[in-house]
């Protein structure tokens, strides 16, 4: 058989295998500790706090459009098209009411939907992957304690080829390491580790980190600013050499900013960060806000 024909057949076989891999739904394994579930007593109360810490309210509520909390519908504009946040109330048909614990953890930390479909990274599972299973299930418990809302998902406006969801498998190979709860740094104290965890699951890096041309976050540039942030806002660096202004803030000043939006120069927060404070960080405890501030301060004081 001529070499050219062999190469052609090999290319066809490889192409077919890749196509099958892309098209077949897959589900990452989920390991839930024995005795832990979203039905465990006290989980909903714990989840009510974590929903704020994880910033779920802002994206899953179309406030300007008059939508109900967590019913989705918010338009999220990106360089790859406009996505609409889904309904995450426990409605059986239009929400997540039929999801099992495994389904929820898999979506939150691995970016896979209830049917095995790949989720777009506009849903920040790339950050939620650092979350513990217990915290993920606590969030589910809280969401399932809410009244279901009948709110069908609005169709996304995403052009080809980005509209082909299966391509997210390839994207993940390049930009997503998979679900891995953030382990404590044993060289640091509990407050620092708590702050790092909250900054991770609060997905601060999703806005404050520059993205590559395929939308992947650069780990080496984590929190170093993003010129193309949400709604066209230039998101400032909060770590690295460009973070000179933020680096001058004290732990107490950062803590107050996360609570009230007030800056050391008596200016006030503007843009997307205003919503982050209003819907998320102002609802945290003083101890947690200080832990975040201490962690962020350490990123600049140790350069």
The domains located in the chain, with CATH, are 43-175 (no CATH), 190-301 (1.10.760)
Q: Are 110 and 104 in contact (CB under 8 A)?
A: no
pLDDT digits (tens, 9 = 90+) for 249-296: 999 999 999 999 999 988 888 888 999 999 999 999 999 999 999 999
pLDDT number for residue 281: 97
Q: How far apart are CA 124 and CA 130, in angstroms?
A: 11
pLDDT number for residue 162: 87
The answer, yes or no, to whether residue 20 has pLDDT greater than 80, is no
Q: How deeply is 43 buried, as exposed, middle or buried, from its count of CB atoms within 10 A (0-12, 13-18, 19+)?
A: buried
The band of 220, judged by pLDDT with boundaries at 50, 70 and 90, is confident
pLDDT number for residue 184: 95
The answer, yes or no, to whether residue 18 has pLDDT greater than 70, is no
The answer, yes or no, to whether residue 7 has pLDDT greater than 70, is no
Mean pLDDT across the chain: 90
Q: How far apart are CA 82 and CA 56, in angstroms?
A: 18
pLDDT number for residue 19: 52
Nearest 5°: phi and psi at 75? Answer: -80, 125
pLDDT digits (tens, 9 = 90+) for 103-160: 999 999 999 999 889 999 999 999 999 999 999 999 999 999 999 999 999 999 999 9
The answer, yes or no, to whether residue 8 has pLDDT greater than 70, is no
Placement of tokens 């998979």 in the chain: 178
The band of 75, judged by pLDDT with boundaries at 50, 70 and 90, is very high
Element (H, E) at 125: helix 125-128
The answer, yes or no, to whether residue 1 has pLDDT greater than 80, is no
pLDDT number for residue 213: 85
Q: Considering the chain, what percentage of its residues have pLDDT values greater than 70?
A: 91
Q: What does the block give as tokens for 86?
A: 């889904």
CA 3 to chain centre: 49
Decide which of 268 and 178 is more confident: 268
pLDDT number for residue 11: 58
User: Picking from 13-27, 173-187, 229-243, 288-302, which range would have the lowest pLDDT averaged per residue?
Assistant: 13-27
């Amino acid at each position: 058989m001529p070499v050219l024909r062999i190469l052609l057949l090999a290319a066809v076989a490889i192409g077919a295998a890749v196509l099958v891999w892309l098209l077949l739904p897959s589900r990452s394994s989920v390991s839930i500790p024995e005795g832990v579930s979203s039905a465990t007593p006290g989980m909903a109360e714990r989840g009510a706090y974590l929903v704020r810490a994880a910033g779920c309210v802002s994206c899953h509520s179309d406030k300007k459009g008059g939508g109900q909390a967590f019913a989705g519908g918010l338009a999220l504009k990106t360089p790859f098209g406009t996505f609409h946040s889904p309904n995450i109330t426990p409605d059986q048909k239009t929400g997540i009411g039929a999801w099992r614990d495994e389904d929820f953890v898999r979506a939150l930390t691995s970016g896979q939907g209830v049917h095995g479909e790949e989720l777009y990274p506009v849903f920040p599972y790339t950050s939620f992957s650092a979350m513990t299973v217990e915290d993920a299930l606590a969030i589910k418990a809280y969401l399932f304690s809410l009244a279901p809302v009948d709110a069908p998902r609005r169709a996304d406006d995403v052009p080809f080829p980005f509209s082909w969801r299966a391509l997210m498998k390839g994207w993940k190979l390049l930009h997503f390491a998979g679900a891995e709860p953030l382990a404590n740094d044993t060289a640091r104290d509990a407050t620092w580790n708590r702050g790092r965890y909250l900054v991770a699951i609060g997905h601060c890096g999703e806005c404050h980190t520059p993205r590559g041309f395929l939308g992947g976050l650069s780990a080496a540039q984590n929190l170093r600013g993003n010129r193309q942030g949400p709604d066209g806002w230039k998101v400032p660096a909060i770590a690295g050499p460009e973070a000179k202004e933020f680096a001058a803030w004290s732990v107490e000043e950062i803590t107050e900013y996360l609570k009230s939006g007030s800056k050391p120069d008596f200016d006030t927060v503007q843009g997307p960060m205003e919503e982050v404070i209003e819907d998320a960080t102002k609802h945290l405890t003083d101890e947690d806000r200080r832990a975040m501030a201490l962690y962020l301060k350490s990123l600049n004081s140790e350069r």
